[in-house]
């Protein structure tokens, strides 16, 4: 294990010294002396990083770093220390089969999860890496921890970013990314390979700008999605790199001869393309429905991704039906962005919306028809669609659903509130909802604890979510009597949600707020 770099000092924490090591340890670090204490800790906490040291002296340096880490992950994880050189703790170290004396620097770091040994900590012994590990012990390492990314300049703060842009004489290509972004992960290997090939002549840099503290940078450089690539020369932003399928060689060649992306040819509207689907307007709709006794109509918007995905299936189904002498019906489409009267008349609020018209009468809305085979099969036997699934808000659960009107008043009454800001269409939200819901059941009898949810797509909730700093879905935040304390960044699992609230019960929130203000 490599020597641990000295960490920055946190105001209010006791400074560790060799002579006072046994007496003065940061209050956030659990000092464990025997097996009984360790068992109790593992029974009550589910995310623990334990520093085993050869002696108090060898623990001094890593404990300085771990004091900072403990502060950063408070409520999410626990840091503990066992001094194996102490006569009281020696038996415990032997029982746990830990031998820090055999390590080069006299310390060993082990992680325990859900009451059992999980893994030896072998990631870089830095504040940033250790915090990331404790917040997600099973998550992927940070990009800068990848040895193959050693030639990428990793930027952590706006100050570092401004300094790099201002002082660097070489051309810079900056990737602004989010850790969870799939496209970013897919492009990183090519980007880091290009960084190695261009080392010395060009700079390839990366910056995670997903946190809200980087909102000004996102606004300044028009970062509306991830990844966004920005090219700089001598302190000036020139243009974007827009090849999202780029290989390492593509990056290298472009950096040697950078140029602005050519504007794409405008896309021909679906209604103007050769199509087996009948495209209807405000003027032709009624006549077409009267002429055809069985019509399935797709109401769509040209920019809608789900519509684009469905279009080929819909076209193929139309071709099959048009070539069938005994066709059970015809397919039509309406661009609601241009045929606004029809959109209002049939109350189209989402895309695509499929409606069936039989003998001129609007009969059913059919959200379950999305593929060629399903469409043709259904038209041969038209029938009412299955009842829609209840929305999360309509289900009877222990989660309280809030709106802009009642959010502040409700939150003021709760000592501990975990709030999930979400969008019903969001896949990550759908995966999280069952875990969040079952976690809420654990505290349904406790009046001062709440698990709450806000649908950011509804009415005035959009403005509320903006005020609460929602950048993506789901975003989960912790509040104490209506005051925002921190964003939840742990696992999106029932046990993690439950243990988080249990851990927050014991926190002194007035001290937390004061310490945040001091920092």
pLDDT digit string, tens, across residues 386-412: 877 788 999 999 999 999 999 999 999
CA atoms within 13 A on the CB side of 176: 25
Q: Which residues contact 450 (CB under 8 A, 6 or more apart)?
A: 400, 410, 411, 414, 416, 417, 418, 443
Q: 449-492: per-residue pLDDT in tens?
A: 999 999 998 888 988 998 998 888 899 999 999 999 999 988 89
Q: What is the domain partition of the chain in residue ranges?
A: 30-139, 144-256, 275-380, 395-514
Same CATH topology for 30-139 and 275-380? yes
Residues 354-369 have a mean pLDDT of: 94
- Contact (CB, 8 A) for 451 and 433: no
Class level of CATH domain 30-139? alpha beta
Q: How confident is the model at residue 19 (pLDDT cuts 50, 70, 90)?
A: very low
Closest to 438 measured CA to CA, from 376, 371, 392: 392
Pairing of strands 116-120, 107-113: antiparallel
Main-chain dihedrals φ then ψ at residue 514, nearest 5 degrees: -65, -40
Residue 434 has pLDDT above 80, yes or no: yes
CATH of 144-256, one of 3.20.20.80, 3.40.30.10, 3.40.640.10, 3.10.20.30: 3.40.30.10
Class level of CATH domain 275-380? alpha beta
* Count of other CB atoms within 10 angstroms of residue 160: 14
For tokens 């661009």, the residue is 335
For tokens 């006794």, the residue is 293
Closest to 251 measured CA to CA, from 208, 205, 190: 190
Separation between Cα atoms, residue 80 and residue 310, nearest integer Å: 54
Residues 314-319 have a mean pLDDT of: 97
Residue 208 has pLDDT above 90, yes or no: yes
Q: How confident is the model at residue 507 (pLDDT cuts 50, 70, 90)?
A: low
Q: Which fold has domain 395-514?
A: Glutaredoxin (3.40.30)
Q: 60-98: per-residue pLDDT in tens?
A: 999 999 999 999 888 889 999 999 998 889 999 998 989
Catalytic residue numbers, as ranges = 181, 184, 304, 307
Q: What does the pLDDT read at residue 43?
A: 87
pTM comes to 0.47
Q: What does the pLDDT read at residue 297?
A: 98
């Amino acid at each position: 294990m490599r020597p641990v770099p000295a960490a920055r000092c946190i105001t209010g924490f006791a400074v560790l010294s060799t002579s006072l090591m046994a007496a003065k340890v940061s209050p956030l670090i659990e000092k464990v002396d025997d097996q009984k204490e360790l068992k109790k800790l593992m029974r009550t906490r589910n995310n623990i990083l334990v520093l085993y040291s050869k002696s108090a002296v060898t623990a001094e340096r890593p404990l300085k770093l771990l004091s900072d880490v403990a502060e950063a992950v408070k409520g999410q994880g626990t840091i503990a220390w066992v001094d194996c050189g102490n006569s009281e703790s020696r038996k415990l170290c032997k029982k746990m089969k830990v031998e820090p004396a055999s390590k080069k620097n006299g310390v060993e770091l082990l992680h325990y999860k859900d009451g059992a040994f999980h893994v030896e900590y072998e990631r870089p012994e830095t504040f940033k890496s250790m915090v990331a590990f404790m917040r997600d012990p099973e998550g992927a390492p940070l990009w800068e921890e990848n040895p193959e990314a050693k030639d990428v300049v990793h930027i952590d703060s706006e100050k570092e970013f401004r300094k790099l842009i201002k002082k660097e004489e070489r051309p810079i290509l900056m990737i602004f990314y989010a850790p969870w972004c799939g496209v970013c992960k897919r492009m990183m290997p090519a980007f880091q390979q290009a960084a190695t090939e261009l080392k010395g002549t060009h700079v390839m840099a990366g910056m995670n700008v997903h946190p809200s503290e980087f909102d000004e940078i996102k606004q300044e450089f028009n970062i509306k999605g991830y990844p966004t690539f920005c090219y700089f020369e001598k302190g000036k932003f020139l243009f974007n790199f827009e090849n999202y399928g780029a290989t390492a060689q593509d990056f290298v060649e472009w950096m040697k001869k950078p140029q602005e992306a050519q504007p794409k040819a405008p896309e021909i509207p679906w209604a103007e393309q050769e199509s087996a689907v009948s495209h209807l307007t405000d003027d032709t709709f009624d006549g077409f429905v009267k002429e055809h006794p069985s019509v399935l109509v797709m109401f769509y918007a040209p920019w809608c991704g789900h519509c684009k995905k469905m279009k080929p299936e819909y076209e193929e189904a139309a071709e099959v039906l048009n070539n069938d002498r005994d066709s059970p019906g015809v397919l039509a489409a309406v661009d609601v962005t241009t045929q606004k009267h029809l959109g209002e008349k049939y109350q189209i609020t989402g895309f695509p919306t499929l409606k069936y018209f039989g003998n001129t009468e609007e009969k059913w809305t059919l959200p379950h028809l999305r593929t060629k085979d399903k469409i043709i099969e259904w038209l041969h036997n038209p029938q009412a669609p299955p009842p829609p699934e209840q929305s999360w808000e309509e289900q009877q659960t222990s989660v309280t659903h809030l709106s802009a009107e009642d959010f502040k008043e409700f939150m003021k009454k709760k000592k501990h509130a975990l709030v999930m800001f979400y969008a019903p269409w969001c896949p990550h939200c759908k995966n999280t909802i069952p875990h969040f819901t079952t976690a809420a059941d654990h505290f349904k009898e406790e009046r001062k604890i709440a698990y709450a949810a806000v649908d950011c797509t509804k009415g005035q909730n959009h403005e509320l979510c903006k005020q609460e700093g929602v950048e993506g879905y789901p975003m989960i935040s912790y509040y104490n009597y209506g005051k925002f304390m921190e964003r939840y960044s742990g696992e999106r699992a029932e046990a993690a949600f439950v243990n988080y609230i249990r851990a927050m019960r014991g926190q002194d929130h007035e001290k937390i707020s004061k310490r945040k203000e001091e920092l």
